[in-house]
Each structure stands twice: as C-alpha cells, then as structure tokens.
Amino acid sequence: MNNTKRFALTFEALTELADEIKTAQAAPQPALPTLSEALAEYSSLPREALFLGLASDGLPVLLNLHDPVPGPLLVSGDAGCGKTAFLRLIARGVEEMHDPQAVQYGIITPHTDEWEDCEESAHCAGVYSVKETRAAEFLDSLSAWAHSAKDSEPIILLLIDDFEAMTNLDHEAKQNLRWLLLRGPARRVWPIVTLNSRRVLQVNLWLDLFHTRLFGHMDNPLEGQALAGGRDARLEELMAGVQFKMREGSEWLSFWIPSLE
C-alpha cells in the first residue's frame, strides 16, 4: 500500500472516530503521519510550493509562493483549534523543503517562548514579541525591503500569531502592516496570520484584506458562518488541533496538519 492511500485511510478512520475522540478528550496526533513522512512521499514538490497540509485523500495542499493572487492568509478558529501548530508546521516545512536563500520566515507573537526552538534556524529572520518595539522595527525593515526586493532575493513568510494583539501597535507600524497585507505577496512577503475567532470584533476593520481564509474548529456555528461567509462550512465538526478547512471555488476543502514529532 502506498503512503498516499495509507494517509487517506488514516484520515477516514479519524473522521469516523471523531465523536469518540472528542468524548475521551484524546489526542489523535499519534495516528497522524509526521511531516517528514508526508514530505518524503512528495519529495518532488515544486520549489515554489509552500506545504499547508494533507487533504482527506492523502494528497498535499500547497500554496504557490510565486502567485500573489491568493493574498495573505488568515487562519481563524477557537482557542486550541491548532492555529499555532499550523504556523509551526509552516515553519518546519520551510526548513525541510527550501534553502534559506530561497525562503525564510519571521515570527511576531505575544508568546515568544513557543518559538524559541526556531530562533537558531538559518531560515528564521527573527522571533519578535508584539509587546516590544522590535516587532514594529521588524515590520518597518520588512516593508522597506519589500519595496525594492528583487526576484533573486528570498521569499519571506511573515508569521503573525494572535493577530488581535497587533491592534496595540503604533500608527506607523500599523501602516506598514497594512501595506504588507495589501502588497506583500507581490513583493516576496507572504503574511500568514492567526486569529482567535472570539476576538474577531477587535480586528473587524482588517478582515477585508484577507481573501484567503483557513478555518479550524469553532464550537459556535454562528461565529463560523460569520467568518466563513456561509452556512455550509460546518466548522464545529472539525477535529480541534489537527483539521482545517478552506474554500476552494464553491466547495470546501478539508485538510489535516501532520505531526511534527
């Protein structure tokens, strides 16, 4: 049995056991494929691909970093739905798939302790606390760099965990952030940000900047409908911590994030 079919059977089994797992509050991670296993199965992925996860059929879900049309990515859901785990998967995938000269990442977060293991990576452009002025300085330098970035220079992923914390930035930093959200993907900077769905009102004025939205588990169907723009998302059925959805045309694509262990 090839790995693609094995991945699909694993996801099918987890879906069937979802209610039992939730009742037992058990973590399904041991049953999931690891990131290394997934990337080994798809070792010939295009160089411009950013790995986001595995669809229910076992095939990879990718973002083309050379196509700016999708724009910045918003990852929203309840606390504990796996938003930070998703960003960490992105960072680790970059380290395993790309040379530092091709793709790097920088992190802005209120919880820098969650990213200490990334700071020594050759791919890491820095871990910045949103509570300190260094975060605003990083946005300023990244915006200035993006204005003149050449095709020969690396693509930089701007990973922002807890987007609502960015509302406390000063005016200039917010202007730099807005420009990066509007123009970044066309200038070799890809913002990928997380948002706790319970705090959406704090960033309501920013939401129109995100045309590509990924969703984790949300207990409240009405919150899910408001963020996802329809009643068909059924985000309350997603398995917290490992499963996400995104709209693909008129359909919904459900996908899983592999374990990092």
Global pTM? 0.92
Amino acid at 13: A
When divided into structural domains, the chain yields a total of 1
- Tens of pLDDT along 12-65? 777 776 666 565 555 555 578 999 999 999 988 999 999 999 999 999 999 999
Residue 65's CATH number: 3.40.50.300
Answer yes or no: is 86 within a domain.
yes
Query: What six digits make up the tokens of 141?
Result: 């330098």
**Rounded mean pLDDT of the chain?**
90
Q: Provide the domain limits for residue 150.
A: 3-256
Beta strand spans in 130-187 (E): 155-160
- Tens of pLDDT along 230-255? 778 889 889 999 999 999 888 899 99
| CB proximity list for 246: less than 8 A, separation 6 or greater | 61, 212, 213, 214, 215, 252, 253, 255
Answer yes or no: is 261 within a domain.
no
Answer yes or no: is 60 within a domain.
yes
Q: Which residue has the tokens 């939730």?
A: 22
Q: How far apart are CA 21 and CA 24, in angstroms?
A: 5
Percent of the chain with pLDDT over 90: 72
Answer yes or no: is 171 within a domain.
yes
